[in-house]
Amino acid sequence: MRVVGLLWALFSVVLAQAAPKRVLYVTHSAGFRHDSIPVSRQVMESLVTRSSGQLEVVSTEDLSLLTVENLRNFDVVFFFTSGELALNDQQKRDFLAFVREGKAFGGVHSATDTLYGWPEYGELIGAYFDGHPWAQEVAIDVEDPAHPTMANVFPPFRITEEIYQFRDFSRDRVRVLMTLDTATVDLNAPGVNRTDGDFALAWCRNHGQGRVFYTALGHFDETWRDARFQNILLNALLWLAGVRPGDATPRSGTGSPSPAIDRGGVVNAGSFLPAPNNTLAPGLVIAIFGAALTSGATWSNGGLYPLPRKMAGTQVLVNGVPLPLYFVSPRQINAQLPWEMQSGQSGEVVVRTPNRSSAPEPARIEATAPGILAIVGIRREGMPVTIYGTGLGPVMPPAITGAAAPLSPLSTTVLEPLLTIGGVRAMLTFSGLAPLFAGLYQINAVVPAGIPAGPADVVLEAGGRRSNVVSWAIDR
């Protein structure tokens, strides 16, 4: 019986491998025909190999294949189409039933420039094309990086593309996956129709028991040849086919909560303590605590520089200026204040998620706001010790907001900080920005003599302001 069971298990694996999910790729153009269609077919068919046999793609321009009899042979229908496709009423009913009853539909680029006379199609795909005001290099924010369609798509990324805007689009009906970073385009350009700044570039949704995915990218040959775009397509096809599970529930619609910063929730990321009157400093790394600070995503920039100013659909603004972001989540954000901010300036910290903003949290900008993040060294007198912190004031050469500090030349502090260990002043050998990080200071010093063994308080002072107190045990 054991042998029979093993043979059956092996036979089941073979059966599973022999039954790929079938995709009908439709490229019929009843309106504008894109030059990238031939390349798109090659790419879609290449995804079969990359899927390790989990997918099979059949390309066609024959609309007569969209019948209930033929659709039974497919798991996904995917459009790169345009214009009023010549589908009869029965084909339309069959197509909607195909998706509603548990199969899937996907579309790329001009799939929203299709079937304007069939409102149910617009509802199915999620929106209709409403012009393309930009054809240029843009930055794209991955709003839902944890969704399987966005797997291994590291935000943000830049791409040259013809950028669509949409009408009849609502976040109440779709789960937005990618959006345009509007800081990289001219919102006053001719043909811009949206006034809310919300330019979604990929989304998914449920339709009955079925799944729907759409991305606005795909105009140029170069887009189809882009490895990142191909990765998105492969992810999307596997998700549409049900190979990879993932939620398509909308989560940034009108019923979603607005971001809220906790009272005193803007803190020094070194000390994680609120300073009196929310005192901040130029270049300071801050942490923000609150609720609904993203629409649900948690994301770290992974140590890539320059730091993005929008992550997972979230921005932090001080006096209207977007801050570079290290990390975002529904409960916490880590960001860097601009070096350009002036001492003595009042500030308002605001968190913005798609179409929503928090109440402003007041802050005061001063020259310094010291905070100790970590201490590394040998815990004996005369030995080297390194303090990592933030908020120690201006540096020379000046630093660039959101950029990693260079290895050469090193940026050193203009104001020499005072470091005490166990109440005894320590001799400094270096005070400046830690290379390859943004907003992180490094203080190299020597453990002073005469400190008793046991816990010793470590304190940094800069510009007349003291850091948090960190207990550091001294050895004999």
pLDDT of residue 345: 87
Residues 285-302 as b or e (16 or more Cβ within 10 Å = b): bbbbbbebbbbbbbbebe
Say if residue 131's pLDDT is above 60: yes
What number is the average pLDDT over the span 140-146? 93
In 319-390 the beta strands, taken as DSSP E runs, fall at: 321-322, 325-328, 332-336, 346-353, 356-357, 361-365, 371-377, 384-390
Do residues 184 and 201 lie in contact, with contact meaning Cβ atoms separated by under 8 Å?
A: no
Do residues 277 and 345 lie in contact, with contact meaning Cβ atoms separated by under 8 Å?
A: no
Task: Round to whole Å and give the CA distance between 444 and 457.
Answer: 17
Length of the chain: 476
In 33-190 the beta strands, taken as DSSP E runs, fall at: 55-60, 76-79, 104-108, 128-129, 134-142, 157-163, 166-167, 175-180
What number is the average pLDDT over the span 160-171? 97
pLDDT tens-digit readout, 336-383: 999 999 888 888 999 999 989 999 999 889 999 999 999 999 999 999
Please determine, looking at this structure, whether the domain spanning 2-240 carries the CATH number 3.40.50.720. Answer: no
pLDDT of residue 391: 95
pLDDT tens-digit readout, 413-422: 999 999 999 9
Say if residue 255's pLDDT is above 90: no
Share of the chain above pLDDT 90, in %: 87
**459's tokens:** 């304190």
pLDDT of residue 275: 61
pLDDT tens-digit readout, 391-446: 999 999 999 999 999 999 999 999 999 999 999 999 999 999 999 999 999 999 99
pLDDT of residue 15: 38
pLDDT tens-digit readout, 16-65: 455 899 999 999 999 999 999 999 999 999 999 999 999 999 999 999 99
Closest CA to 47 of 95, 97, 106: 106
Task: Round to whole Å and give the CA distance between 391 and 462.
Answer: 9
Share of the chain above pLDDT 70, in %: 95
- 260-365: CATH topology is Immunoglobulin-like (2.60.40)
Say if residue 5's pLDDT is above 80: no
Say if residue 143's pLDDT is above 50: yes
What does pLDDT average to over the chain? 93
Say if residue 268's pLDDT is above 60: yes
The residue extents of the domains of the chain are 2-240, 260-365, 371-474
Say if residue 280's pLDDT is above 70: yes
Do residues 289 and 332 lie in contact, with contact meaning Cβ atoms separated by under 8 Å?
A: yes
Task: Round to whole Å and give the CA distance between 94 and 342.
Answer: 64
pLDDT tens-digit readout, 446-465: 999 989 999 999 999 999 99
pLDDT tens-digit readout, 74-105: 999 999 999 999 999 999 999 999 999 999 99
Say if residue 6's pLDDT is above 80: no
Query: Which three-class secondary structure state does DSSP give residue 85?
Result: coil
pLDDT of residue 469: 94
pLDDT of residue 1: 44
pLDDT band at 277 (very low <50, low <70, confident <90, very high): low
Q: Which residues lie closer than 8 Å to 392 by C-beta, 6 or more apart?
A: 368, 370, 413, 415, 417, 431, 441, 443, 460, 462
What number is the average pLDDT over the span 317-324? 94
Task: Round to whole Å and give the CA distance between 324 and 307.
Answer: 5
> Are the folds of 2-240 and 371-474 the same?
no
Residue at 142: amino acid letter? V
Q: For the domain bounded by 371-474, which CATH number is listed?
A: 2.60.40
Do residues 232 and 153 lie in contact, with contact meaning Cβ atoms separated by under 8 Å?
A: yes
